[in-house]
Amino acid sequence: MTLNFDPALVRKSLNGSLNPHPAASRARLSDPFSLRDQPVADAFVMLTAPLASEAFRQMESVAERPDVDLLEQLRSTLRRLRALWWAFEPLLDEKTGRVVRKRFKRLADIAGEPHEFDAACALLSHADKDCARLDPVLRRLRQQRREASAMSCVTLRKAQLDVLLRRALADARRRLEARGEDRTLEAFARQRVSLADDLLSKREHRAAKLKRVDAKTLHSIEEAATKLQCLLELFAPVLERGHRHTTAHLLAAQAALVRLHDVLASETVLRRVAPVLNDKNAVDEAVRWLNKAARDESRAAAKRLRSLPHLV
């Protein structure tokens, strides 16, 4: 299973240093010590319920007005829910869990579409300072952003997120209770984090030995770092400090990939709107600029990853 890399979450983590006990978690779970010793089935419900409530509230706000920031908040919540189902994957029905995660991903992608246009506009605005030929591209992207916001809201209103969440939560709890899992959440969380930590370490070590770090290798590191980040955030209320991968190290690995991801995502958005633009030269110029930016950011990411302390 691949977790979508979310640069917005990484930037938020960078600004807040990915506090092992973030304020949001403290607000949702005022007594982490009671959660720590809960059976896994009960703990799953305790972790899911506040996120589900948040998603319902955000859906109501989005229904009232198509705002990009509100949609981005909903996307973040849906991704966290998807990550939660992935975190408990070893204990859930594989087929049912995969279906639930796909539905969360689809809704998160719908909510995040306007934000992708925002990122593309921000990047190409820098290029436009040196090349006025990109004006038609930027105008079209901004128009598409407005249309995408309205369309995302309409689609999400019809998606019946409340029904999806309630059914998914009920099915997951039945599965967890049927397993008779006797581990506490703390023991389960430690094991999952340890495995994700090892995976990221191995992929970084492998990259450090390569003469040339290609896009596929960078993506594998990005994926492993995102999985570890999700687990650390989801299980923050019950985790103790002292993981081999320090929080600072994780953030350094992700920071090396944020800008590269933005460039690649912007090129995807650009190619989506290219057919409706009657200016091939402008599109070609924008693609050339993004390709150059992708090469530059790829080299910068590889250099930064190699410079991480434990890879020396």
Given this model, what pLDDT does residue 54 score?
93
Residue 108's pLDDT band (cuts 50, 70, 90): very high
Whether the per-residue pLDDT at 144 is higher than 90: the answer is no
More confident residue, 50 or 30: 50
Whether the per-residue pLDDT at 13 is higher than 50: the answer is no
Residue 55's pLDDT band (cuts 50, 70, 90): very high
Given this model, what pLDDT does residue 194 score?
87
Task: Of 74-88, 123-137, 202-216, 273-287, give the lowest mean pLDDT range.
Answer: 123-137
Given this model, what pLDDT does residue 241 score?
59
Of 31-35, 52-56, 215-219, the range with the highest mean pLDDT is 52-56
Taking CB atoms within 8 Å and a gap of at least 24, the contacts of 199-206 are: 199/224, 199/227, 199/228, 200/224, 200/225, 200/227, 200/228, 200/245, 200/250, 200/253, 201/244, 201/245, 201/310, 204/253, 204/305, 204/308, 204/310, 204/311, 205/311
Spell out the residues 6+ positions from residue 235 whose beta carbon is closer than 8 angstroms to its own: 87, 185, 189, 192, 193
C-beta separation of 273 from 140 below 8 A: yes
Spell out the residues 6+ positions from residue 137 whose beta carbon is closer than 8 angstroms to its own: 124, 270, 273, 277, 279, 282, 283, 286
Given this model, what pLDDT does residue 248 score?
66
User: Which domains are present in the chain?
Assistant: 7-13+23-311 (1.40.20.10)
pLDDT per residue as tens digits for the range 20-48: 334 444 334 445 557 878 888 888 888 89
% of the chain at pLDDT higher than 70: 83
Given this model, what pLDDT does residue 107 score?
93
Given this model, what pLDDT does residue 311 score?
43
Whether the per-residue pLDDT at 102 is higher than 90: the answer is yes
pLDDT per residue as tens digits for the range 186-215: 889 988 988 888 888 888 888 877 777 777
Average pLDDT, stretch 45-58?
90
Residue 15's pLDDT band (cuts 50, 70, 90): very low
**Residue 106 CB neighbour total at 10 angstroms:** 13
Average pLDDT, stretch 246-251?
68
Given this model, what pLDDT does residue 17 score?
39
Rounded to two decimals, the pTM is 0.77
Given this model, what pLDDT does residue 246 score?
59
Given this model, what pLDDT does residue 132 score?
66
Residue 131's pLDDT band (cuts 50, 70, 90): low
Given this model, what pLDDT does residue 99 score?
93
